[in-house]
Amino acid sequence: MHSCCKATHTCNTFARNVVAVLARVTTFAIDGIDPREVSVEVDIRSGLPSFSIVGLGDTAVRESRERVRSAILNSGFEFPQRRITVNLAPAFLRKVGPGFDAAMALALLAASGQLPPVDLVGVAAFGELSLSGGLRDCAGALAVAEGAHRSGIPRLIVPRERAAEAALVDGIVVLGVSDLRAAADAATGARLPPEPVRRELRSSTGGPDLADVRGHELPILALQIAAAGSHNVLLEGPPGTGKTMLARRLPSILPLLARSQALEVTRIHSIAGLHANGLLSTRPFRAPHHTISAAGLVGGGVPPRPGEATLAHRGVLFLDELSEFNRPTLEALRQPLEDGEVAIVRGQRTLTLPTRFMLVGATNPCPCGFAGDAMRCTCTESDLRRHWRRLSGPLLDRMDLLVDVQRPTESALRAPPALDSETARARVSEARDRQLARLRGSGATCNGEMDSRQVRDHVRLASGAEEAISRAYASGVLSARGRHRVLRVARTIADLESHERVLESDILLALSMRQRGTRDEGRRAA
């Protein structure tokens, strides 16, 4: 059936509607993290043999010519020696990467009469071709599947490695194939590949657990508070005391992802080429190196790609050695932190990427790392000020908690672990539920998101607490902004303790973990 007469195809049913177009297959381009429908149109005319691709493709798309030609020939099909034009529509959308190969090859086969074009209606294809005709793994299958579902296309051809991932989307048939021949067979329905196994959410998250930690009682308490209220945290401590180790365990005590959230996270990670194995069940933990650029952190480039902030969406963004980061890079985090999304403007277009993550920073208390230890610390006050100036400002303002991480004592190292992640997560989830109930209809979903008005409306203080906070304010321990942050954290502590109103003890505990104020001790500590 593939070697049908070339003379007959010019009057096929498909070509009747659009005169010049001989065959069309749908695929999807990835725009940021969203799929956009692209139709691959192939026109074959008589003339000198040529093969050109139009439609704003990048180098990988231009190089498709060679891959598609070889793949078609090596799969036992014929490559028409005529004038071939491939159009990727819409033309204004920039197309990136090799994922269009499969759709181009199928459309070409249909246009040259080797496949019946009717069979390709209702089929989307996605994947890179190898010269031998194999269909190679390609990032972003989940997004493509969601796009197919949204566009009402019932069948999707993807590389076999990506089938499990694409199958997470309900309502479409995913055909996971390993080469072009199998793709053609699947498209026509001649031979269907086995149905992919759907890997659903697992209840246990795996990953590092709090039960591995010895000592560190204070940081663990602080991490629970941070997780319960989604407060950003700054961990401060000498080198090698376990700041990174602790931060890595934060995802394990955050509430489990809902399926829709997990799908969103999996889609982002699939596009970034980080994941291809069913649904992600652990919250992401991203720890970019401090040499990262602003574009790498919040997303950017041409065409725009999601940055670490988006990869950490619904998870934890960990910035180790916070003072080593470029100041402009850190400042770029302001909008993502504030709005939970980042808008990247390129030319005429604006791309919005989700960035709802918890920020955990880690830093030495001073350049040498031994602040407070008068015998060992070699930093002068001006060293310290420089150190804090590098950190200070907008980013510190958005970190509600300041946590001291010290080397655990010998006896603490021998003691049994204080807590495992399962127990901690249960407490955290309960506290989150309380916040959700209280904040319903206010726009915020947890205490960390409350703005000053929401703090005023939703943080009810017991009389002792009222008195403690005004004493702290009067004595200059708190600034106006600091007062606000302490109230948010105290509300979370009260939620963890199931206190209806914020008690004095909650305020006092929150005060002990308060962030530095602008004219606070950071400047004069030596």
Partner 1 sequence: MSAHDPGTSRRMSAHDPDRSHRRAAPPSACDRCLARPWLLSRLSAHLDRVRGRIQEVLTLGDEQLVEAVAGRDADRIARERDAFDPRVSRERAAAAGLQSICCCSPRYPRRLRSVAGAPTMLFVTGELVSFLELCEADPVAIVGSRRASSYGLEVARSLGRELGRAGLPVISGMAIGVDAAAHEGAIEAQAPTIAVLPGSPDRPTPASKRALHRSIVSGGAALSEAGPGSQVRPWCFTARNRVVAGLAAMTVVVEASERSGALLTARIAGELGRRVGAVPGRVDSPNATGPNGLLAGGATVVRSAQDIVDSLYGAGRVTVAADQRPALSGEGRRVYEALAAGGDVASALAGVGVALSRGLAILSELELAGHIRRIGAGRYAVIP
3-state secondary structure 115-131: CCHHHHCCEEECCEECC
Per the listing, tokens 């080397």 go with 407
Least separation in angstroms between residue 471's CB and partner 1 is: 5
Under a CB-based contact definition with an 8 Å cutoff, are residues 32 and 93 in contact?
A: no
Kindly report the length of the chain. Answer: 526
* Site string (327-366) toward partner 1, x via CB under 8 A: --------------------------------------x-
Q: Which element (helix H / strand E) includes 285? A: strand 285-286
Closest CA to 367 of 522, 175, 471: 522
Nearer to partner 1, 197 or 526 (CB): 526
Site size toward partner 1 (CB under 8 A) is 39
Least separation in angstroms between residue 372's CB and partner 1 is: 5
Is 519 a residue that touches partner 1 (CB under 8 A)? yes
Following DSSP, what letter does each residue of 170-236 receive, concatenated?
A: TTSEEEEESBHHHHHHHHHTSSPPPPPPP----SS--S--GGG--S-HHHHHHHHHHHHHT--EEEE
3-state secondary structure of 358: strand
Least separation in angstroms between residue 228's CB and partner 1 is: 14
- Site for partner 1 (CB under 8 A): which residue of 468, 489, 494, 502? 468
- Site for partner 1 (CB under 8 A): which residue of 374, 410, 416, 437? 374
Is 221 a residue that touches partner 1 (CB under 8 A)? yes
Under a CB-based contact definition with an 8 Å cutoff, are residues 33 and 96 in contact?
A: no
Nearer to partner 1, 42 or 465 (CB): 465
Q: Which stretch binds partner 1 (CB under 8 A): 94-102, 162-170, 174-182, 230-238?
A: 230-238
* Residue 299: DSSP 8-state: -
Least separation in angstroms between residue 221's CB and partner 1 is: 6
Least separation in angstroms between residue 371's CB and partner 1 is: 6
- Rounded to whole angstroms, how far apart are CA atoms 389 and 322? 11
- Rounded to whole angstroms, how far apart are CA atoms 344 and 179? 37
C-alpha of 150 from chain center: 21
Is 211 a residue that touches partner 1 (CB under 8 A)? no
Least separation in angstroms between residue 472's CB and partner 1 is: 6
Contacting partner 1 within 470-509 (CB under 8 A): 471-472, 475, 477, 505, 507-509
Is 371 a residue that touches partner 1 (CB under 8 A)? yes
Least separation in angstroms between residue 239's CB and partner 1 is: 15
Least separation in angstroms between residue 512's CB and partner 1 is: 4
If one counts every other C-beta atom within 10 angstroms of the C-beta of residue 293, the result is 15
User: Under the rule (CB under 8 A), what is the footprint of partner 1?
Assistant: 217-218, 221, 234, 236-237, 365, 371-372, 374-375, 380-382, 385, 402-404, 406, 409, 468, 471-472, 475, 477, 505, 507-509, 511-513, 519, 521-526
